[in-house]
Amino acid sequence: MAVLLTGGTGFIGSHTAVELVQQGRQVVLLDNYSNSQPEVAERIGRIVGRQVPAVEADLLDEAALERVFSDFDIDSVIHFAGFKAVGESVEKPLAYYHNNLTGTVNLLRAMSVHGVKKLVFSSSATVYRADNPVPYREDSPLGAVNPYGWTKVMIEQILRDQAAADPAWAVLLLRYFNPIGAHPSGLIGEDPSGLPNNLVPYVARVAAGLLPKVQVFGADYDTPDGSGVRDYIHVVDLARGHRLALDRLERPDRLGGVEAFNLGTGRGSSVFEVIAAYERACGQKIPCQTVGRRPGDLPVVYADPALARAELGFEARLTLDEMCQDSWRWQRNLSSE
């Protein structure tokens, strides 16, 4: 019995693979390597001390998916795969809807054919409507402001519809806040191709001397230091959240249906606080410059983590300083390759 991880060599998928293998589970990684490298599977193997099966396949390729479900004894799926760049989704909405929605429907079809009905879905805090008060609770109204966000909202709905049509389906939606950090081994982490869209990968490249300075998108928000506030969570904590989610899906008293959980710390940090933590981690000053607000950004986003704590037993443990230290270790290894 194995857990299939779509997007298994991506940032969150790879850390979750390590966590699950260390728990004693069999995993199968599936990826089309559009935003990761085959070498990640080998690195996961080095961390856990044994080889982990990895299949190159695209969720848009139904025949390839069928082969994966025929070749392996898959019992549950964690679905990470998908395009995830907010700005790109505004420029190429059809590519995002096609890839993320059709890919998911293909996956659910293959699962149905093979009687696999347990799924954990990589959702996002972006599914909460922008006018919700913080902290965001799981029952806050949903809605998105860009095509990427809408794909997450729509996939959540597809999963609710599927679980309503067949009550044997058991689905957990994990709504991530801002995952950062890297595995403490320094062997796996986030390595976006091109210019990073997100704050911490950008700061990491500035610290490594690969980019000249960090642009702070707005210092005139109604926040203590004027910069945007987010709920940053260590990817290793997030990976443990997936292990707890799978454990919950397998509980004999769980009857199916769909549940959503926030995975965040419940604490917000500002852009300037993140930069200061990164400076402590790398021991040098990080040049930055305040520029205008980025369109679509909210002033403050953080989770209400109470439901995940009560129902999953999930609590984030690692601090912002640890997130930056682990990110920096990974970035240094990348730069020295």
Does 294 engage in binding with ligand UFG (CB under 6 A)? yes
Counted residue by residue, the chain has a size of 337
Site mask for ligand UFG (CB under 6 A), range 192-231, x = bound: -----xxx--x-----------xxxx----------x-x-
Q: What is the residue type of 102?
A: T
Which C-beta is closer to ligand UFG: that of 115 or that of 295?
A: 295
The 3-state DSSP class for residue 330 equals: helix
Supply the residues annotated as catalytic. 148
The 3-state DSSP class for residue 315 equals: coil
Q: How far apart are CB 324 and ligand UFG at their closest, in Å?
A: 13
Q: How far apart are CB 276 and ligand UFG at their closest, in Å?
A: 13
Out of 4, 20, 28, 125, which residue is the one contacting ligand UFG (CB under 6 A)?
A: 125
Which C-beta is closer to ligand UFG: that of 45 or that of 196?
A: 196
Out of 297, 311, 315, 322, which residue is the one contacting ligand UFG (CB under 6 A)?
A: 297
Out of 116, 238, 263, 271, which residue is the one contacting ligand UFG (CB under 6 A)?
A: 271
Q: Are 163 and 169 in contact (CB under 8 A)?
A: yes
Q: Which residue's Cβ has the minimum distance to ligand UFG?
A: 228
Helices 320-335 and 271-282: angle between axes, nearest 10 degrees:
60
- C-alpha span between 58 and 134 (Å, rounded): 37
Question: Which H or E element spans position 124?
Answer: strand 118-124
- C-alpha span between 172 and 258 (Å, rounded): 6
Does 301 engage in binding with ligand UFG (CB under 6 A)? yes
Q: Are 20 and 243 in contact (CB under 8 A)?
A: yes
Could you list the residues that contact ligand UFG (CB under 6 A)? 84, 86, 124-126, 149, 178, 197-199, 202, 214-217, 228, 230, 271, 294, 297, 301
